[in-house]
Structures are given as structure tokens and as C-alpha cells.
């Protein structure tokens, strides 16, 4: 207990210094430019009390999870299929890499003019951002399986199910989970991009609205919350990844 407290001293110290710096910087500049930490928290509390904030947060969460779950439901089985069927994988690999390296935000204007302002186009954006890391990393994992291992499994007359359980899943799953972690981060970017550029809802709208009203406190409060969500989700992603990659270490 004592040691764990001591271990976290630098963390709390750096947090306190950061907040102090933010406070000082906010107080010594104009309120239109930067808002001190205390004022940011006050503004955040006002937004929560006004009831606007939690509703927008729920709206964003709905978008994030719909798109993200859809990406997993499509990405993991499709990735596994590509992992198992070698011809398919070899054919599709370079195109996956191409899309993976393309800034997909550039597709948002097309989605807007084809699908309009509903919920579906926004889900599509989150889905597109999240699905390719899952696919790409699963295929990468499949590539790490030596063909000899599958041959050995076959020569021991292992069935399809045993092959999956003993070879395919243990080898590809850690990579897939790296993809899932990346997908979490990208889905978050997709969510904000969709809320900025398609129909404006959720936390994205909160930031945009505050910025258009020159409500710097509101902008800081929303960015602060999204930053915390980003850090939290990144933690979750790392935990998932480590859980599945344990045997590799």
C-alpha cells in the first residue's frame, strides 16, 4: 500500500503542475483565447446541469458503439476467412494495404451527398474508420502462421475445428486484438469527423456550437471530456490487447 502510493507521487505531481500551468495560462490570457482549468470545470458543470451535455454524450456513444460493433462483426469473421483461404488473402492483401494507408476522411463528402444527413451515413463513417485496422491486422497475423504448421496439423489428420482451435486462432487472435485496439482509436476519430461534417450531433456538435458562439469555455470543456474518453478507451484497448497476447510474451 505504502509503495503503491509512493509510486503514484510523480503522476499526481505532474498532474498538479499541469493543472496549475493551465490555470495560470488561462488567467493571464484573454478569455476568448484560453480558459483556466477552474472555469472549464465550471462551464462543464453548467452544461451538465442544463441537461444538454449528457444527452449529447449518449448520442455520441450510440454512434460510436453501433459503428464499432458493426466493424467487429464484419471485420473479425471476414479477416478469419481471409486468414484461412490463402488464395483469397493473397489476392486481396495489397488492396487492404492501399485502403489502410488512404485517409478515409476524404470519403466523407461522397457519403454526405449520397446518403444525406441521417444516422446511417454517420455509422458508415465510424464503421469504415474501424473495420480496416481489424482486417489488416488479422491478415497480418495469418501471414505469421508458417505453412508447415498447417501441414503438420493436416498430416496428424486434424479436422477443421481442431485446426482452428490449435493453430489458426492462437496465432491470429493477438494480431486481431492489436487491430481492435487501433480500431477503438480510429472509431473515435470517425465519430468526431462524422459529427463535424455530416449531421451535427453529440459531442461534435457541442464543440462546434461552442466554437461558433465564441464560447471558449464550452470548447475547452468538450475537448477535455473527449480527451478523457480517448485516454480511457486507449486503456481499455491496451488491456484487451495484452489479455489476448499474454502467451506471446
Partner 1 sequence: MADAAITATVPAARAAPAARGVLVPRLITGLALLLIWEVAVRLLAPAYVAKPTTVLMVAPHVLTDPVFLRATGNTLAAVAEGLAVALVFGTVIGLLMGRSAALEKAIRHYVNGFYAMPMIVVLPLFSLWFGYSASTRIATIIFAAIFSIIVNVADGARSVPREFLEVARSFRSSRLRMMLNIVLPSSMPYLLAGFRLAAGRALIGAVVAEFFISVGGLGYYILYNSRSYHHNEAFVGVLLLAAFGVSFEVLVQAATRRFLPWYRRDEKAD
In angstroms, the CA 41 to CA 228 distance is: 13
C-alpha cell at 101: 494507408
Interaction of residue 60 with partner 1, rule CB under 8 A: no
String of DSSP letters for 34-99? ---HHHHHHHHHHHHHTTHHHHHHHHHHHHHHHHHHHHHHHHHHHHHHHHH-HHHHHHHHHHHHHH
> On the CB side of 112, how many CA atoms lie within 13 Å of its CA?
13
Q: Per-residue x/- marks for partner 1, 225-244, CB under 8 A? A: -xx--xx-xx----------
Q: Per-residue x/- marks for partner 1, 204-223, CB under 8 A? A: x--xx-xx--x-x--xx-xx
Size of the site for partner 1 (CB under 8 A): 58
Q: Which is nearer to partner 1, 115 or 158 (CB)?
A: 115
Site for partner 1 in 120-179 (CB under 8 A): 178
Interaction of residue 182 with partner 1, rule CB under 8 A: yes
Phi-psi region of 51 (alpha: psi -120 to 50; beta: other; left: phi over 0): left
Q: Which is nearer to partner 1, 100 or 164 (CB)?
A: 100
Q: Which is nearer to partner 1, 172 or 222 (CB)?
A: 222
Interaction of residue 92 with partner 1, rule CB under 8 A: yes
Burial class, 107, CB count within 10 angstroms (exposed 0-12 / middle 13-18 / buried 19+): middle
C-alpha cell at 151: 501441414
Interaction of residue 52 with partner 1, rule CB under 8 A: no
Select the residue interacting with partner 1 from 2, 6, 51, 103 (CB under 8 A): 103
CB of 158 to partner 1, least distance (A): 26
> On the CB side of 115, how many CA atoms lie within 13 Å of its CA?
18
- Binding-site ranges for partner 1 (CB under 8 A): 10-11, 14-15, 17-18, 32-33, 87, 90-95, 97-99, 101-103, 105-110, 112-114, 178, 182, 185-186, 188-189, 191-193, 196-197, 204, 207-208, 210-211, 214, 216, 219-220, 222-223, 226-227, 230-231, 233-234
Amino acid at each position: 500500500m505504502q509503495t503503491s502510493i509512493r509510486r503514484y507521487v510523480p503522476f499526481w505531481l505532474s498532474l498538479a503542475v499541469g493543472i496549475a500551468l493551465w490555470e495560470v495560462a488561462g488567467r493571464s490570457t484573454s478569455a476568448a483565447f484560453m480558459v483556466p482549468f477552474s472555469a472549464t470545470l465550471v462551464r462543464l458543470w453548467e452544461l451538465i446541469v442544463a441537461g444538454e451535455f449528457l444527452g449529447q454524450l449518449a448520442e455520441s456513444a450510440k454512434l460510436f458503439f453501433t459503428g464499432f460493433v458493426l466493424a467487429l462483426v464484419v471485420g473479425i469473421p471476414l479477416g478469419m476467412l481471409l486468414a484461412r483461404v490463402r488464395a483469397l488473402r493473397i489476392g486481396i492483401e495489397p488492396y487492404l494495404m492501399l485502403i489502410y494507408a488512404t485517409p478515409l476522411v476524404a470519403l466523407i463528402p461522397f457519403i454526405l451527398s449520397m446518403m444525406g444527413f441521417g444516422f446511417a451515413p454517420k455509422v458508415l463513417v465510424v464503421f469504415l474508420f474501424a473495420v480496416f485496422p481489424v482486417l489488416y491486422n488479422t491478415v497480418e497475423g495469418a501471414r505469421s502462421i508458417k505453412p508447415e504448421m498447417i501441414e503438420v496439423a493436416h498430416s496428424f489428420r486434424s479436422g477443421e475445428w481442431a485446426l482452428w482451435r490449435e493453430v489458426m486462432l492462437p496465432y491470429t487472435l493477438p494480431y486481431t486484438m492489436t487491430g481492435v485496439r487501433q480500431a477503438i482509436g480510429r472509431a473515435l476519430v470517425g465519430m468526431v469527423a462524422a459529427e463535424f461534417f455530416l449531421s451535427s450531433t453529440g459531442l461534435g456538435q457541442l464543440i462546434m456550437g461552442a466554437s461558433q458562439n465564441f464560447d471558449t469555455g464550452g470548447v475547452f470543456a468538450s475537448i477535455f471530456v473527449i480527451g478523457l474518453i480517448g485516454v480511457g478507451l486507449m486503456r481499455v484497448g491496451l488491456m484487451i490487447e495484452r489479455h489476448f497476447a499474454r502467451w506471446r510474451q
